[in-house]
Every structure is written in C-alpha cells, then in structure tokens.
Amino acid sequence: MDGEVLKVEKLNAYFNDFHAVKDVDLSVNYHEVVALIGPSGCGKSTFIRCLNRLHEEVPGARCTGNVWLDGQNIYGKGVDPVVVRRNVGMVFQKPNPFPGLSIFDNVAVGLRLAGVTKKSVLSEAVEEALRKSALWTEVKDKLKKPGTGLSGGQQQRLCIARALAVKPPVILMDEPTSALDPISTAKIEELIVELKNDVTVVIVTHNMQQASRISGRTAFFLLGELIEYGKTSKIFTKPQNLKTEQYITGRFG
C-alpha cells in the first residue's frame, strides 16, 4: 500500500503552560518504521502520545492540530478516543503486563473487553499475536501463568503481543527496549522489522544505532520542534541540519 497512514499537521502539545511540541508536521507511510530521536525532554514521547490521544489523559495536558489516521482526523468532531486507540496500539518504555492476569489473559484482554467472547476466536487470536511477537514457543506451555512472571524481555514481547492482538494498523513504541538487555533488545528489533509487513511502527528511541538499524525514516526532535525528518540512511550519513549532525555525533547533550 502506498500513501500516508498518518499525517500530522501543525501539532502543538502542552502540559499546562509548558509548550512541549511545537508546530510539528510529519507523515508516516503504510508499512514503514519511523524512528523519533532527540535528547530527553525534546517532546518526542509527548508527540507519539498525541498520535493515539493518550496525551490528553494526563491532567493539564492538551494539544492542538490535526492528525489524519488513514484519512480521518482523530482530533475531528465526534471522534471517540477509545476507538482511535483501538487502531493505534502502544508499547511502553517499561514492560507493563497487567498484574494478576495470566499470559493468555494479558493478550486476550483487549479483544475480550471489546466484546469478543468466543473462546476459539480468542485463543486463535492470542496464538497469532504471540507468534508474531516471537514469544509463542517460549510461553505456549504456560499460558495460564501470570504475565508478570516472565523475564523483562519476554514481558515486553508480551506487551507487543497484547498490542498486536487487537490488530491495529499502527503501533507506537516509546523506548521499548531501554529497560532491556542487549539480547532482548536484538530480539525486539528483529521483531519490529518483521512487523513491518503487517503494521506501521512509530518508535521513540534513545539508541541511535537502534534507529539506524530498524527504521526507514528518522525524525530528529529538539526542544519540541521537529528539526529534521528524512531517510534514516541519509540522517546518519549526511544530515542536512547542523543540529542533527551535532546530536547524532554526540557533540552536544
């Protein structure tokens, strides 16, 4: 599929008086992996949280602008954030399986609470999601065990499976490997590249190598502004903006 699955227009995000994201325009194509890089506090996390309308759940947070998801404005009139979020999944920095829920229930919960009750449908969806997140072989014999009992890396893949289970066309990832060891990180990176066949991934990362390994395009944020957005291969060999150059070569921090 060609074209833009996400198109962000003049997005501004605020926490009370703090202007966290400033006038950002950015588009993401179908089946693309886009990495967002930039120093801490540059607004990249806030930015992706505007893409599934999670930003507004924080007290004092608001945003303006338009975000077109597959041609529809998610900030349009009468849009239900709940429905938006069903179509734009999210994986967080810290692995956060739901406590007290089994591995199976963790993955099934999204569908179940969306009204799917048929056992066969659920277990099929759970298996598919766990296979896609490369966790199936590791957990297929202990689906009833609590999700919190898995290792950090497995938990994060469980969270990816949980997000995949509701089959959103877009998945946002907010530093999904920053709490993981290198092996788990490598597994998740592999997974993201695989996922590209099914979904579009927008990933925030502090790991420049990660951005360069897995993404097709990279966006560099600084102080709430989108400084440069372009092909990852270009950003990491000859960025157009001096600030990008200085950031990725570690000349300021």
Partner 1 sequence: MLPMHRHVDTDLNDLKDLLLSMGGCVEKAIDEVHEGITKKSESHLAQVEKQEKLINELHTRVDEECLKFLAMQAPVASDLRLVLAVIKINTDLERMGDQTLNICYNGREFLRSTIEQVPKELDSMKKEVRFMVKSALDAFVRQDVELCKKVLNHDDIVDRYRNQIVDQLKTKLKSDPNNTDAYLNLIMIAKNMERLADHATNIAEDVIFVATGTDIRHGHEQIK
Partner 2 sequence: MASKLNLKVTSFTDRKRKLKSQLIIGVLLFLALLACFPFLFISAYVISKGIGSLDWAFFTQLPKGPGETGGGMANAILGSGTMVLMCCLLGIPWGMAAGIYLSEYGEGKTARILRFATDLLTSVPSIVVGIFIYGLIVIYFGFSAHAGATALAVIMLPIVARSTEEILKLIPNHIREAGLALGIPRWKVILRILVPGCVGALVTGVMLAIARVAGETAPLLFTALGNQFFADSLSQPTASLPVQIYNFAKSGFPDLERQAWAGALILVLFVFVINFGTRAFIYYKKS
Contact residues for partner 1 (CB under 8 A)? 39, 208-209, 212, 222, 235-239, 243-246, 248-253
Residue 180 binds partner 2 (CB under 8 A): no
The binder of 236, among partner 1, partner 2, none, by C-beta within 5 to 8 A per type, is partner 1
Residue 52 binds partner 2 (CB under 8 A): yes
- How is residue 91 written in tokens? 């994986």
CB 158 within 8 A of CB 95: yes
The binder of 29, among partner 2, partner 1, none, by C-beta within 5 to 8 A per type, is none
The binder of 50, among partner 1, partner 2, none, by C-beta within 5 to 8 A per type, is none
Residue 159 binds partner 2 (CB under 8 A): yes
CA angle 139, 167, 4 (to 5 degrees): 135
Is the dihedral angle over the CA atoms 88, 176, 2, 134 positive or is it negative?
Answer: negative
For residues 220, 63, 162, 119, the Cα torsion angle rounded to the nearest 10 degrees is: -150
Burial group, residue 215, by CB count within 10 angstroms (0-12, 13-18, 19+) = buried
The least CB distance from residue 100 to partner 2, in Å, is 4
Phi, psi of 36 (to 5 degrees): -110, 120
The binder of 209, among partner 1, partner 2, none, by C-beta within 5 to 8 A per type, is partner 1
User: In terms of DSSP bridges, do strands 72-73 and 88-91 run parallel, antiparallel, or are they unpaired?
Assistant: unpaired
Site for partner 2 in 72-101 (CB under 8 A): 82-87, 89-90, 92-94, 96, 98-101
Where do contacts with partner 2 occur on this chain (CB under 8 A)? 52, 54, 57, 59, 82-87, 89-90, 92-94, 96, 98-101, 109-110, 113-114, 159, 162-163, 166
